[in-house]
Amino acid sequence: MAAVVSLSREIELRAAGGSAGWLETQARMCTMDQVDVFQSRVMDDSLSKPGTLMWVSADAGSEFLEARQYCIAHAPQVAMRASVVEGLARPAAEVRAIVVTQSQRAVVSRKLIRDLQEAYPQARILCLMGACCEGMYAKVLDPVFSSTERVYCHQWAQVLPEWLRSCGAVVTSGGTLARSVAVVSATPAIGSALMDLAESAGAVTLWCRDICRWQMRQVDAVWWDDSVAVAASSAQWKERLEKFSTSGRGPVHAWIANAPRWRQVQAAVEGGVSLTLSKPHRIEPLLSLLETCRPEQAKSIAGLRVA
């Protein structure tokens, strides 16, 4: 306010002195500044309002099913389209985010994607790629989707929760902070990064390679590294997890693996694992997982996967 008063006073003095040109220039600058501030506020307000997520996919398989269910559960509004062409032919209102799935190695039409981006200029776009697409962009100099616009399907839990905020998705997880975390890895060196992360969140951290329930009692969370916990069946996962359970209570489990396949993730989920992360992984999902001490406190698997 003081700066505005000072500027007004200076304008009056210069105007009295005959600086008419200077006065006109400063008046235009003030008007432009007001317009910029107004446009900035309008833009911020529009981004803060709930918008629509457009899910573009013709894949009815199970590879994208979990990510699709998460989007439906958390996005304020979802517009389902079978193809990019249908997304252009059937417009949706207030589209702020677009997810395009790709299960085959065929290159997506650059023109159609460009038309889709022009039709929804305020929307962020993300390509969710299946297992068959791994490595297809390694030698492509000018891909249709940039490196920040594409992610493999096994990494969706690390990206979608935060990415969906662009369309107003808000997910909260309840519970108290986990007080103890057991990191299961082949060596302490492999598990040191996970131990440092848990310690930074205020949790007491333990490392182990051979699980023994008489040595590990009432642990709140267990983070499994695939150096020890290789992909297994649901029955084998249940056997692993039971070694940490005492008196009918069990910790929340997370599995960190190198590019796990969808069936491997499903087997882990059926065995009792709440969160699966693909290396290299983001730290936010693990920190959010610490907010849920016991599996019975979580309403759904998707609720645990909030970055």
Residue 42 lies in a domain: no
Task: Write down the pTM of the prediction.
Answer: 0.52
Residue 6 lies in a domain: no
Q: What does the longest C-alpha to C-alpha distance in the chain come to?
A: 90
Share of the chain above pLDDT 70, in %: 70
Q: Domain residues for 202?
A: 180-304
- Given 145, 167, 189, the domain boundary residue is 167
Residue 19 lies in a domain: no
Number of domains in the chain: 2
- Given 138, 167, 196, the domain boundary residue is 167
Residue with structure tokens 């997506």? 108
Q: Give tens-digit pLDDT for 33-75.
A: 443 433 333 334 444 467 889 999 887 667 888 888 888 888 8
202 with 244, same domain: the answer is yes
User: What's residue 158's pLDDT?
Assistant: 77
72 with 162, same domain: the answer is yes
User: What's residue 216's pLDDT?
Assistant: 64
Residue 232 lies in a domain: yes
Q: What CATH number did the domain enclosing 288 receive?
A: 3.40.50.2300
For the segment 275-293, the average pLDDT, to the nearest whole number, is: 78
* CA R_g for the chain: 26
251 with 296, same domain: the answer is yes
Residue 9 lies in a domain: no
61 with 154, same domain: the answer is yes
163 with 186, same domain: the answer is no
Residue 216 lies in a domain: yes
For the segment 231-240, the average pLDDT, to the nearest whole number, is: 91
User: What's residue 49's pLDDT?
Assistant: 62
Lowest model confidence (mean pLDDT) among 7-11, 261-265, 275-279: 7-11
150 with 204, same domain: the answer is no
152 with 245, same domain: the answer is no
Residue 273 lies in a domain: yes
186 with 103, same domain: the answer is no
Lowest model confidence (mean pLDDT) among 19-28, 217-226, 237-246: 19-28
How many residues can be counted in the chain? Answer: 307
Pair of tokens at residue 57: 């996919």
In this model, does residue 26 exceed pLDDT 70? no
140 with 253, same domain: the answer is no
CA dist 222 to 139, 183, 264, Å? Answer: 38, 6, 18
The strands making up 221-225's β-sheet, listed across from edge to edge, are: 204-208, 180-184, 221-225, 252-257, 275-278
User: What's residue 50's pLDDT?
Assistant: 75
Residue 158 lies in a domain: yes
Q: Which of 68, 59, 63 is nearest to 263 (CA)?
A: 63
Lowest model confidence (mean pLDDT) among 142-156, 239-253, 290-304: 290-304
100 with 202, same domain: the answer is no
- Given 120, 137, 167, the domain boundary residue is 167
Q: Give tens-digit pLDDT for 90-117.
A: 999 989 999 999 888 877 788 999 999 9
In this model, does residue 303 exceed pLDDT 60? no
In this model, does residue 3 exceed pLDDT 60? no
In this model, does residue 22 exceed pLDDT 50? no
198 with 299, same domain: the answer is yes
For the chain, give the mean pLDDT: 74
159 with 247, same domain: the answer is no
